[in-house]
Amino acid sequence: MKLPIACFLLVPLFVWAADNPADSESYWPQWRGPSGNGVSHTANPPVEWSEQKNLRWKVNIPGKGHASPVVWGDRVFVLTTIAPEEVPGKEAEKEEPPPQGERRRGPRSLQPSGVMKFAILALNRQDGAVLWQKVLREELPHEGVHKVATWASSSPVTDGEHIYAFFGSRGLYCLDMNGNLQWEKDLGDMTIRLGFGEGSSPVLHGDRLVINWDHEGQSFIVALDSKTGKELWRVDRNEVTSWATPLIVESQGRSQVVTSATGSVRSYDLATGEQIWQSTGMTANVIPSPVAAGGMVYLTSGFRGNALQAIRVSSAKGDLAGSSAIAWTRDQDTPYTPSPVLYDSVLYLLKHNSGILTAIDASSGEAIYGPQRLPGIEQVFASPVGAGGHLYIPSTNGTVTVVKHGREYEVLAENRLQDSFSASPAIAGSELYLRGDESLYCIASQQ
């Protein structure tokens, strides 16, 4: 059942003029940052912090979500879902213990317990104050999610004039920067493998918003007019469930949408949806997003196997099997969930979901160092980020290990907060934003 869109909290706002989109390099406007590579070349956040040091603010976020924060101007945006048991005054039902002598076998997926609120929040970067919070849909999800996932795992994207909040089967919403709804789009319901939940995020380029919709039904990729939500083109895909976010790259004056999946990795013309090239697919359960720089695009996955392809975009045409457009490949130490980081000429990979780091020369595919076990890190679902000559690697145990960027392995700090991190960080200016299971943290040097 779908209920009307409702405003859940709205505080008085000043009128704020959006920055020029050319300033996007100064912010973190989308999943994986301004270039889609997990790196900010303008930011310089602290290397060390704790609950008592370099913590500018900490704000509890209602509900649950693994969507990464995005940052523009003076604002941070986050998505969340609020379940019935999380509503103040309502207690969650207690789970019955297993019969005597039997061991409890935990389910791999969680089922919705009732109608949920799908919401977006805008916070002030300076002090964490909630400027506005809006529920975009109230609905009972048709499927569950993996036990470590959430119903708000797709990250928003902004161009400084609008913010696009994507909840997958629960819809896509375009709002202005003050939270006023401009348009909405319902693309249907996904059927996700094993009911493990959705996660691919939209990408924005100029006036086009692209969404990849790989699931157990008819998969497709679609481009929408970012101003109106009108569908510009749609192409069916012969793919099963994947969670990777597309990447838009420029080559020879042409914008291409690069997608990673189990059957094939493919590129589409952003203007028309025409397929430009395809190569062999990744492993099953493709989650990491592609990264690209210097005319090369890198695609990875690591579930029940390892796969990495480095493709020269300018020479990629048609079927790339046996083609020199595939510069090099790798079949070890690749990530399952975390996306790689491409920082200058170094490609950083985490092995599976662990704190085992490998640094690769992006041009040759040769290992610079690793696999190297990181101290303080346990399970990793978040994607690392880079800025200021540093690599920031969050863990579910609340630790963020900071490694020096470059061709020599050096750990600079192990920072522990009283939370768990599965959402990927955002970086802007002197600040690092960490979205934990309980709170959103702004890490910044205290003068």
Question: pLDDT tens digit string along 282-330?
Answer: 999 999 999 999 999 999 999 999 999 999 999 999 999 999 999 999 9
Least Cα distance to 32 among 245, 337, 258, 284 occurs for 245
| DSSP annotation string for 184-212 | EE-------GGG-------EEETTEEEEE
Which residues sit opposite 435 in a β-bridge? 440
- Please report, rounded to a whole number, the percentage of residues in the chain having pLDDT higher than 70: 90
| DSSP annotation string for 30-60 | STT-TTSSSEESS----S---SSSSEEEEEE
Question: pLDDT tens digit string along 363-390?
Answer: 999 999 999 999 999 899 999 999 999 9
CA angle 270, 207, 263 (to 5 degrees): 30
Question: pLDDT tens digit string along 136-182?
Answer: 999 999 999 999 999 999 999 999 999 999 999 999 999 999 999 99
**Measured between alpha carbons, how far is 131 from 135 in angstroms, rounded to an integer?**
14
Confidence of residue 109 (pLDDT cuts 50, 70, 90): confident
Mean predicted confidence (pLDDT) in 80-90: 70
Instruction: Report whether CATH 2.60.40.290 matches the domain 1-30+68-90+107-187.
Output: no
pTM over 0.95: no
Mean predicted confidence (pLDDT) in 64-70: 97
Residues 6+ apart with CB under 8 A from 274: 268
Contacts 24+ apart (CB under 8 A), 188-192: 189/142, 189/143, 190/143, 190/215, 190/217, 191/143, 191/215, 191/216, 191/217, 192/143, 192/216, 192/241
* Domain residue ranges of the chain, discontinuous segments joined by +: 1-30+68-90+107-187
Mean predicted confidence (pLDDT) in 189-214: 96
User: Which pLDDT score, from 0 to 100, does residue 31 have?
Assistant: 95
Mean predicted confidence (pLDDT) in 33-44: 97
Q: pLDDT at residue 102 above 60?
A: no
Q: pLDDT at residue 248 above 90?
A: yes
Which residue shows structure tokens 């157990």? Answer: 216
- Asked if 13 contacts 131 with a C-beta cutoff of 8 angstroms, the reply is yes
Confidence of residue 24 (pLDDT cuts 50, 70, 90): confident
Question: pLDDT tens digit string along 386-401?
Answer: 999 999 999 999 999 9
Q: What are phi and psi of 23, to 5 degrees?
A: -85, 5
Q: pLDDT at residue 4 above 60?
A: no
**Measured between alpha carbons, how far is 170 from 140 in angstroms, rounded to an integer?**
9
Mean pLDDT of the chain: 91
User: Which pLDDT score, from 0 to 100, does residue 89 have?
Assistant: 43
